[in-house]
Amino acid sequence: MASESNGSRSESVTTLNSDSIAVEMPSQPRKVALITGITGQDGSYLTEFLLGKGYEVHGLIRRSSNFNTQRIDHIYIDPHNVNKALMKLHYADLTDASSLRRWLDVIKPDEVYNLAAQSHVAVSFEIPDYTADVVATGALRLLEAVRSHTTDSGRIIKYYQAGSSEMFGSTPPPQSETTPFHPRSPYAASKCAAHWYTVNYREAYGLFACNGILFNHESPRRGENFVTRKITRALGRIKVGLQTKLFLGNLQAARDWGFAGDYVEAMWLMLQQEKPDDYVVATEEAHTVEEFLEVSFGYLGLNWKDHVEIDPRYFRPTEVDNLKGDASKAKKVLGWTPKVGFEKLVKMMVDQDLKIAEREKLLVDAGFIAAEQQP
């Protein structure tokens, strides 16, 4: 599925693409965006958003034995269809500096969005070296590639660095752009390094580089090993009889949960400003894992206490108790506000995972697949 072709920056002549994504008709040549982490949750929503704005989008993907492009398959068009294929994929890796610089030189993007990461907090305790190499040093490699490209070409590239509310760690809420960081995991510490690398390159070299400190953002496309999706995925299977128990850790951890589809607009807005800056993006509401359970299980008429058990293995070595963002700067400067509230987000995820569980149940009953070994 990956392509190394570099399409022309032609003007838009249609208002809808083949997947009915509304496309603006630019009077100027198309803007070109480069996204690392394009196959992730945020990358897929950002790609849809930018295609809707009339962009040509290039994504960097890691080589794998199996394709991991499910989140963007619905908007993929074979690059041989030159007039319609406005999203193109290229092999690269944040651990490979030469590939980053090469694709910058070939693609010549106007905007770069660094969304790639080993983003699972619990996993970062198990593979800390790799997490730091990708999340921290990977961001540094990409920043240096942008700097050297702009120096050699004279072009201006606007750069977005994906930060995380985990950087605040044990600092009491609400957390804003001026709140001190106190990371509590290798992932969070690596994100702090990437944040300050971005600030340094902005101040030292004059790069248009922004940090988006995004609080927890979820969707039906969230990875299944993240607690919100773990809950809704298990809930769907419990509802149709494929599973009876769900094992979790700290139910009192509170998070500021928003919808990923809303948050990618804030990323884009940061790069449309006259000056680069850093912004917290959040709903300004915090809810505990227990509240998430109450809303999700209650939506399907179930009592979560009948199915949830606590497993000590899911507690972190250092817990983060409460993250709640202060997004007043983003509201004032960017004009951004979230559109999807907490309950709507939870129900959106439950609806999707119930459909998946129902399809899985049909296949199990028909003997096409074996039921997974679930308690």
Walk along the chain (375 residues) in steps of 10 and give the mean pLDDT of each run.
42 40 65 97 98 97 84 88 88 97 98 96 96 98 98 97 98 98 98 98 98 98 96 98 96 98 98 98 98 98 98 93 97 98 98 97 91 62
CA distance readout (Å), 310 to 71, 251, 299, 315: 31, 9, 22, 9
pLDDT for 85: 86
Tell me what pLDDT residue 26 has: 54
Catalytic-role residue among 164, 185, 190, 219: 164
The single residue of 45, 55, 113, 187 carrying the catalytic annotation is: 187
Identity of residue 239: K
Which one of the listed residues 48, 56, 166, 265 is annotated catalytic? Answer: 166
Give the Å distances, CA to CA, from 12 to 21, 27, 28, 56, 87: 13, 8, 9, 10, 14
CA atoms within 13 A on the CB side of 16: 3
pLDDT of residue 25: 54
The set of residues, in sequence order, having a beta carbon less than 8 Å from that of 365 and lying 6+ positions away, is none
Question: Does residue 124 carry a catalytic annotation?
Answer: no
User: Which pLDDT score is estimated for 6?
Assistant: 41
Measured distance CA(361)–CA(369) in Å, rounded: 9
Decide if 187 is catalytic.
yes
Spatial neighbors of 139 by CB under 8 A, at least 6 apart, are 94, 114, 161, 193, 194, 197, 198
164 catalytic per annotation: yes
